[in-house]
């Protein structure tokens, strides 16, 4: 029971609290989902910041875990200070208690049918994640790294296939997502395999739909005319694509359901949608001729950094996506200052790519 409580704190409580830093970016609707999603992205970015330097300097798992918890405490303190500042300035941004009965009346029968269909598809996918097993060759590497972390050895200096000591695996050490899964496994009291295939998979699946929800609100709630049926229909279509996305073992949908413990899954199904959502927010504010706050670029910085935790070259691909989106804004609206913010958001991927190039000859 204690393990379940600690796990919920790590994957729900901490992200919700830390994500309140970015609440001014979400003016209305979906604030709880927004806070949870971008709070977790911020924690992943922080884990990358503390883990990569420690791994490269031959620190053990327990040292990395301790540093991460200290970072979580620091981020919670920052979130508290930010909330206090907003309260002193009497800024909006509070969570309002939902009136479920009134919300159901506003939706209508047709809209509620779409919501129920989406929930049924989501429950079916969660059932598959929890109770159906699968085999994947990459588990022999990534899950093995999560499993041997409990022995508190040097990270990425043990060959997962044989257990023998080896030179530092720079390529994978720059994207230590399995080490974060090991922290989750330790708190939950589960084995590395169980935490990877059950807890992480369910958590990733639900958060993926959280990002689809945020993107759907941007796409369907434009203009003055509100048609509430469009958002649940959008989510139903997304759920159907995931359910029948096994046309290839390399499709993002297949990865989401069967390989959630691997960083590449987080990159494809969480980080890329997060970048798309931020680009949509940027374009929306440019169209309204509003000031682009530093908070938006900070959230982009955190998102690209979290992408590096998932894949050492994933950050490079995200830079291309974010760069193209920013460049479109520059050309369409003539806001050349956007380039400075875009360059700031790409600092972490630039450092990771440089390390990826220069470090291998030394190990």
pLDDT in tens, 99-133: 556 666 666 777 889 999 999 999 999 998 888 76
Tell me how many degrees the CA angle 347-353-355 measures, rounded to the nearest 5: 105
Residue in this structure with the two tokens 């979580």, named with its chain if needed = 72
List phi, psi (to 5°) of 185: -65, -40
pTM higher than 0.75: yes
Residue in this structure with the two tokens 């998102």, named with its chain if needed = 303
- Cα–Cα distance between 60 and 66 in angstroms, integer? 10
Task: Assign 171 a pLDDT band (cuts: 50, 70, 90).
Answer: confident
pLDDT in tens, 8-51: 888 899 999 999 999 888 767 788 999 999 999 999 999 999 99
Total Cβ atoms within 10 A of residue 200: 25
pLDDT of residue 239: 94
- Cα–Cα distance between 199 and 113 in angstroms, integer? 29
Total Cβ atoms within 10 A of residue 321: 16
- Cα–Cα distance between 279 and 294 in angstroms, integer? 14
Asked if the model's pLDDT at residue 354 lies above 60, the reply is: yes
pLDDT in tens, 256-303: 888 877 888 899 999 999 999 999 999 999 988 888 889 999 999 999
Asked if the model's pLDDT at residue 98 lies above 60, the reply is: no
- Cα–Cα distance between 154 and 9 in angstroms, integer? 27
Token pair recorded at residue 61 = 């798992």
- Cα–Cα distance between 309 and 130 in angstroms, integer? 25
Alpha-carbon distance values, 363 to 58, 336, 358 (Å) = 12, 42, 10
């Amino acid at each position: 029971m204690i393990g379940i409580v600690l796990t919920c704190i790590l994957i729900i409580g901490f992200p919700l609290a830390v994500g309140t830093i970015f609440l001014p970016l979400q003016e209305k609707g979906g604030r709880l989902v927004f806070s949870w999603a971008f709070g977790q992205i911020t924690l992943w970015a922080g884990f990358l910041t503390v883990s990569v330097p420690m791994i490269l300097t031959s620190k053990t798992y327990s040292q990395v875990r301790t540093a991460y918890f200290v970072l979580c405490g620091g981020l919670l303190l920052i979130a508290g200070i930010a909330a206090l500042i907003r309260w002193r300035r009497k800024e909006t941004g509070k969570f309002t208690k939902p009136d479920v009965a009134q919300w159901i009346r506003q939706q209508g029968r047709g809209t509620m049918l779409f919501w129920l269909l989406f929930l049924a598809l989501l429950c079916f996918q969660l059932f598959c994640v929890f109770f159906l097993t699968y085999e994947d060759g990459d588990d022999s590497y990534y899950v093995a790294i999560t499993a041997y972390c409990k022995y508190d050895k040097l990270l990425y200096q043990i060959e997962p296939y044989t257990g023998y000591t080896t030179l530092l695996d720079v390529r994978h050490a720059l994207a230590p997502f399995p080490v974060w899964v090991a922290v989750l496994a330790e708190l939950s009291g589960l084995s590395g395999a169980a935490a990877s295939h059950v807890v992480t998979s369910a958590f990733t699946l639900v958060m993926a739909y959280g990002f689809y929800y945020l993107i759907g609100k941007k796409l369907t709630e434009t203009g003055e005319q509100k048609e509430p049926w469009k958002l649940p229909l959008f989510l139903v279509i997304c759920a159907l694509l995931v359910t029948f996305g096994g046309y290839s073992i390399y499709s993002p949908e297949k990865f989401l359901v069967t390989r959630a413990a691997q960083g590449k899954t987080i990159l494809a199904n969480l980080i890329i949608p997060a970048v798309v959502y931020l680009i949509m927010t940027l374009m929306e504010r440019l169209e309204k001729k509003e000031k682009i706050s530093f908070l938006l670029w900070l959230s982009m910085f955190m998102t690209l950094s979290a992408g590096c935790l998932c894949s050492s070259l994933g950050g490079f691909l995200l830079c291309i996506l974010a760069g193209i989106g920013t460049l479109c804004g520059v050309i369409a609206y003539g806001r050349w200052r956007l380039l400075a913010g875009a360059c700031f958001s790409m600092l972490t991927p630039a450092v990771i790519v440089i390390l990826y190039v220069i470090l291998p000859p030394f190990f």
